[in-house]
Structure 1
């Protein structure tokens, strides 16, 4: 077993912070650290997704250790989800959907380079052009063409937190094909990883 993932919890409300710390304290592969310490993942807990909260998300992800950021909010519209992704979030959760097991799985997913978004928010994001000028520093780069149907299907499932083998089974592809599809997308758009690919596609309306 490798070293545990280091995780910090950031919240404007101390009660929300205490609840998240309690939920994660029982996971043996997750080590809780203070926000100022080096962390692989940061969980940012907010009541709503507004300008102050988005600034907190951006500042957390742009900190000296650049942790992957998960945002937990009381509720989020597709537009607010898009803003959170633009601010640097790699995982989105609603508070009423979160339990200790789901939160721990989301932490592991984003630490591994995945991007997780609730399915209904994915559908809402796909219905709109989500690119904004609020946080231009976290955008990807342009490309000559968009995504084909196979690429769209794979990225939808990556965004939903599915593993490569699971995506392959459901879409009747080989795991190697799924890996190749994601690699081709990241190379074509000059993106860093799977999480960056999903966030970029959602932000720019490619999906």
Structure 2
């Protein structure tokens, strides 16, 4: 096991803050920061994703240490997810699903620069984009946004698993590819759209309506 990831918690409600910290205490891969210590990841716990919550998210991201943010929300709709990603969130979880396993996975993924989303939320965003409801603008009815963007079924499958926080070896096992193939697919996507990394690829796909 490596060095634990330093994590801080931000919440509007002290009860939510205490509950989130209690869950994180059970994650051996992370450690809660003390006063004056810089966090690598901040877990932000909210009831909903609205303008006040997004403003706080941006403020957290703009801190000198530039921590990555995992947003845990009581309610998480597709529009809220898009706004949160655009504001800088690396990971999104519903509060009822934020158990030790899922929360630690999201925090560790964020510390690596990766992005995580609930699988069913990805499906809803995919259904909406497939029906022409692109986040970045309108599209002709019946047009597949993935095809229009030049992304193959294989690239789509890999990107969805990246968004769910899976590592390269896990993606390779699930899709019956070699790890080298998965790495190559992600590299091709980032190069084609001039993206910085895996998290940027997921955020870009969401912003233009692909996820």
TM-score (norm 2): 0.85
Pairs aligned (count)? 196
The structural deviation recorded for 1:90 is 1.0
Query: In the aligned structure 2, how far is the partner of 1:81 from the partner of 1:44?
Result: 14
Q: 2:78, 2:124 within 8 Å by CA — same for their partners in 1?
A: yes
**Residue 143 (structure 2) aligns with:** none
Are residue 199 (structure 1) and residue 203 (structure 2) matched?
yes
CA spacing shift, 1:187–1:37, aligned 2, 3 Å: farther
**Residue 76 (structure 2) aligns with:** 76
The structural deviation recorded for 1:35 is 7.7
**Residue 173 (structure 1) aligns with:** 177
Structure 2: 5+ residue runs without aligned partners? 138-147
The structural deviation recorded for 1:145 is 4.8
Structure 1: 5+ residue runs without aligned partners? 133-143
**Residue 22 (structure 1) aligns with:** 22
SS at match of 1:56: helix
SS at match of 1:162: coil
**Residue 157 (structure 2) aligns with:** 153
Q: 1:146, 1:206 within 8 Å by CA — same for their partners in 2?
A: no
TM-score (norm 1): 0.87
Query: In the aligned structure 1, how far is the partner of 2:36 from the partner of 2:149?
Result: 41
**Residue 186 (structure 2) aligns with:** 182
**Residue 137 (structure 1) aligns with:** none
Query: In the aligned structure 1, how far is the partner of 2:199 from the partner of 2:9?
Result: 20
Q: Which has the larger radius of gyration?
A: 2
Of stretches 191-200 and 123-132 in structure 1, the one that deviates more from structure 2 is: 123-132
**Residue 60 (structure 1) aligns with:** 60
Q: 2:7, 2:31 within 8 Å by CA — same for their partners in 1?
A: yes
The structural deviation recorded for 1:148 is 2.3
Query: In the aligned structure 2, how far is the partner of 1:202 from the partner of 1:63?
Result: 25
Q: 2:73, 2:93 within 8 Å by CA — same for their partners in 1?
A: yes
Query: In the aligned structure 2, how far is the partner of 1:125 from the partner of 1:64?
Result: 33
The structural deviation recorded for 1:110 is 1.6
The structural deviation recorded for 1:122 is 0.7
Query: In the aligned structure 1, how far is the partner of 2:42 from the partner of 2:192?
Result: 29
Q: 1:117, 1:159 within 8 Å by CA — same for their partners in 2?
A: yes
Superposed structure 1 runs of 4+ greater than 4 Å apart = none
Q: 2:169, 2:179 within 8 Å by CA — same for their partners in 1?
A: yes
Q: 1:115, 1:158 within 8 Å by CA — same for their partners in 2?
A: yes
Query: In the aligned structure 2, how far is the partner of 1:189 from the partner of 1:63?
Result: 28
Q: CA RMSD in A?
A: 1.9
The structural deviation recorded for 1:92 is 0.5
